[in-house]
């Protein structure tokens, strides 16, 4: 009687445990490569594998190897899953281990988000199409619509545009007190456009032309003093 009770109890435990077994998600894979000796699988077999950290949640392609008594290098590709019950006619070879191959690709260089600023140079003004931009990568498209040759300088400073330190001739003293000359376009011929790409942090800037031009009659034109300057803000 005790043996009967024990048997009935074991049968009841199996019934309760059965749904838990089928509750494990499995994935069906087709063997697309099987190389080596004593491989537990062959080309075209269907292999049923439970989801795990090693194989992921039914990854598309897995690399596999066999146990200690064989040397087998295999590859399997997903056919179905995840699902609660393994498909019929699938194999569950002992000692067959699979894993996600490490995917190594070329490092990606992020493309900087840039802001375009159009700047017109002419006698005697520097006119950007916007006076304020967000911090980051700035592309100045500088076009000379005047008759004379011009320059384009980007200066970081808290000084007003007309208050930069100057040389004896009245031109801007490059990197003078309270200023930091960041970059420049040396020459922009009449009717042509030059680009200047630069990374700017938040702050105040001044854009100028610092050309000193001597006319045929000997008159010296200092473009900064004649008004070729403007404030520029980066937020």
pLDDT value of position 8: 40
Q: Span 114-234: which CATH code?
A: 2.60.40.420
More confident residue, 28 or 10: 28
Domain ranges of the chain: 23-99, 114-234
Strand ranges of the sheet holding 136-144, from the earlier edge strand across to the other edge: 125-128, 114-122, 136-144, 193-200
Query: Does residue 138 sit in helix, strand or coil?
Result: strand
pLDDT, tens digit, for every residue of 126-136?
Answer: 999 999 999 99
Query: Does residue 18 sit in helix, strand or coil?
Result: helix
Strand partners, 208: 153, 229
- DSSP structure class, residue 161: G
Two tokens at 173?
């003293």
| Confidence category of residue 111, pLDDT binned at 50, 70, 90 | low
pLDDT, tens digit, for every residue of 45-74?
Answer: 888 888 777 667 777 888 888 766 667 888
């Amino acid at each position: 009687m005790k043996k009967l009770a024990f048997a009935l109890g074991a049968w009841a435990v199996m019934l309760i445990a059965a749904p838990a077994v089928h509750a494990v998600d499995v994935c069906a894979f087709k063997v697309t490569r099987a190389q080596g000796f004593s491989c537990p699988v062959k080309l075209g077999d269907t292999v049923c594998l439970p989801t795990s950290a090693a194989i992921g949640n039914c990854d598309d392609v897995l690399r596999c190897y066999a146990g200690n008594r064989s040397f087998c290098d295999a590859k399997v590709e997903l056919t179905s899953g995840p699902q609660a019950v393994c498909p019929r006619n699938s194999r569950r070879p002992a000692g067959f281990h699979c894993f996600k191959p490490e995917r190594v690709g070329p490092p990606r260089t992020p493309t900087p988000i840039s802001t375009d600023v159009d700047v017109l140079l002419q006698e005697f003004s520097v006119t950007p199409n916007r006076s304020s931009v967000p911090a980051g990568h700035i592309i100045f498209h500088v076009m000379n619509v005047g008759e004379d040759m011009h320059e384009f300088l980007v200066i970081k400073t808290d000084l007003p545009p007309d208050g930069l330190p100057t040389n004896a001739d009245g031109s801007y003293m490059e990197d003078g007190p309270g200023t930091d000359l960041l970059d420049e376009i040396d020459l922009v011929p009449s009717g042509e456009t030059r680009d200047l790409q630069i990374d700017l942090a938040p702050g105040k800037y001044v854009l100028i032309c610092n050309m000193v031009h001597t006319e045929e009659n000997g008159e010296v034109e200092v473009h900064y003093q004649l008004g070729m300057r403007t404030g520029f803000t980066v937020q």
